[in-house]
């Protein structure tokens, strides 16, 4: 575990209540007659190269890539599809202008809590469509004002459907040995937080959960330097050991004394001298391993250039020339940039999926 994770206090948890495309060469098109217009449904075929749950990336036989949104399907359907990398799929749907179009109002309604009335859904549709247009124009402040109106309608229903964990279950997530007195106080604060949150008293409920985590945080103990090194799984040289240990302890002391800037400076100095040891504990992949991260092929000439730059990155790391590493990575990705541009993902909303001989309709 990294030092950052080990020394990070548990953050207060607030109750969360909110929830350029190139036209593809597609295999065929079907025509679906709707009530008032004719819609062209496109069919794409390809191999799954990435799976993100309700979004997948597929690569067609001719090299085109599609970023496929499955948001119109039920979660149970998506699980049943069981997309595996390398699986062949046939997907029917429509090309979109951007990935943001996955999250249309149909998707929003699908994720609304129980109880929202038809009249409220009509109001939400107007607000939501306005929000999407404002966000496309990057008018974030104006969009935020509309989100406030949306949340004002939906939050009471989220709260009504919210089923918080019992205190005994929730407290098990912490690995501290709380005293009996603290457990009693925390249980009271936890129950007050739930009651106030359900009543819509956001400010008061926030105060209760903050108090809850003040008790939790008081049990956190920064590991000693030796404990940290053992957990990291590396060995510090005899020459570096006293220098690095002093930086670690000075940083801890500055944090304890509330000297934030000094603490930050000490931690940065600590991270710098520890960098070779971090790298030893987490070696860089070989060049061949690095290239497997990209699902496209590069020319022989570019392959040779990339290999040379990557070898330089490894040498800079090994020799402690960290000031050169960032520019070397920039050179590496500048060679790859044309390939990323060519292999742009085409946003595609799925309405039908055929995989493993089984057909799924939204």
Q: Tell me what pLDDT residue 18 has.
A: 35
End-to-end Cα separation, the chain, in angstroms: 42
Q: Tell me what pLDDT residue 3 has.
A: 42
What pLDDT digit, counting tens, does each position of 97-138 carry?
888 888 889 889 888 989 999 999 999 999 999 999 999 889
**Is beta strand 65-69 parallel, antiparallel or unpaired with respect to 345-355?**
parallel
Tokens of 7: 């020394």
CB atoms within 10 A of CB 317: 18
DSSP state of 25: -
CA 7/CA 2 separation, integer angstroms = 9
User: What SS3 class is residue 67?
Assistant: strand
CA 344/CA 65 separation, integer angstroms = 7
CB atoms within 10 A of CB 93: 21
Task: Kindly report the pTM of this predicted structure.
Answer: 0.61
Q: Tell me what pLDDT residue 21 has.
A: 33
CA 107/CA 115 separation, integer angstroms = 17
Closest Cα to residue 152, out of 161, 140, 144, 142?
144
The segments of the chain whose pLDDT lies below 70 read: 1-40
Q: Tell me what pLDDT residue 40 has.
A: 52
Q: Tell me what pLDDT residue 172 has.
A: 93
DSSP state of 122: H
Q: Tell me what pLDDT residue 37 has.
A: 36
Q: How many CA atoms lie within 13 A of 163 on its CB side?
A: 2
């Amino acid at each position: 575990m990294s030092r950052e994770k080990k020394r990070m206090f548990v953050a207060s948890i607030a109750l969360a209540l909110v929830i350029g495309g190139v036209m593809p060469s597609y295999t065929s098109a079907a025509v679906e007659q709707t009530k008032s217009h004719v819609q062209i449904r496109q069919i794409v075929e390809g191999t799954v190269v990435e799976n993100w749950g309700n979004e997948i990336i597929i690569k067609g036989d001719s090299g085109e890539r599609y970023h496929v949104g499955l948001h119109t399907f039920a979660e149970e359907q998506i699980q049943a599809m069981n997309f595996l990398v390398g699986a062949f799929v046939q997907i029917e749907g429509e090309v979109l202008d951007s990935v943001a179009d996955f999250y249309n109002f149909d998707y929003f309604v699908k994720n609304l809590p129980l109880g929202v009335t038809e009249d409220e859904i009509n109001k939400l549709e107007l607000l939501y469509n306005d929000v999407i247009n404002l966000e496309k124009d990057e008018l974030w402040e104006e969009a935020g004002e509309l989100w406030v109106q949306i949340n004002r309608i939906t939050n009471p229903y989220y709260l009504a459907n919210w089923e918080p964990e019992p205190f005994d279950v929730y407290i098990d997530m912490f690995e501290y040995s709380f005293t009996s007195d603290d457990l009693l106080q925390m249980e009271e604060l936890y129950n007050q937080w739930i009651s106030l949150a359900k009543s819509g008293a956001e400010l008061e409920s926030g105060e209760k959960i903050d108090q809850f985590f003040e008790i939790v945080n008081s049990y956190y103990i920064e590991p000693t330097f030796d404990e940290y090194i053992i957990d990291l799984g590396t060995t510090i040289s005899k020459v570096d050991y006293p220098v690095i240990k002093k930086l670690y302890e000075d940083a801890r002391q500055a944090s304890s004394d509330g000297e934030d800037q000094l603490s930050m400076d000490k931690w940065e100095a600590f991270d710098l001298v520890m960098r070779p040891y971090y790298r030893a504990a987490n070696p860089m992949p070989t060049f061949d391993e690095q290239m497997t991260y990209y699902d496209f092929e590069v020319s022989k000439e570019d392959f040779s250039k990339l290999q040379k730059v990557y070898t330089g990155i490894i040498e800079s790391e090994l020799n402690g020339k960290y000031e050169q590493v960032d520019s070397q990575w920039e050179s590496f990705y500048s060679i790859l940039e044309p390939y990323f541009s060519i292999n742009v993902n085409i946003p595609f909303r799925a309405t039908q999926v055929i995989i493993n001989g089984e057909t799924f309709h939204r």
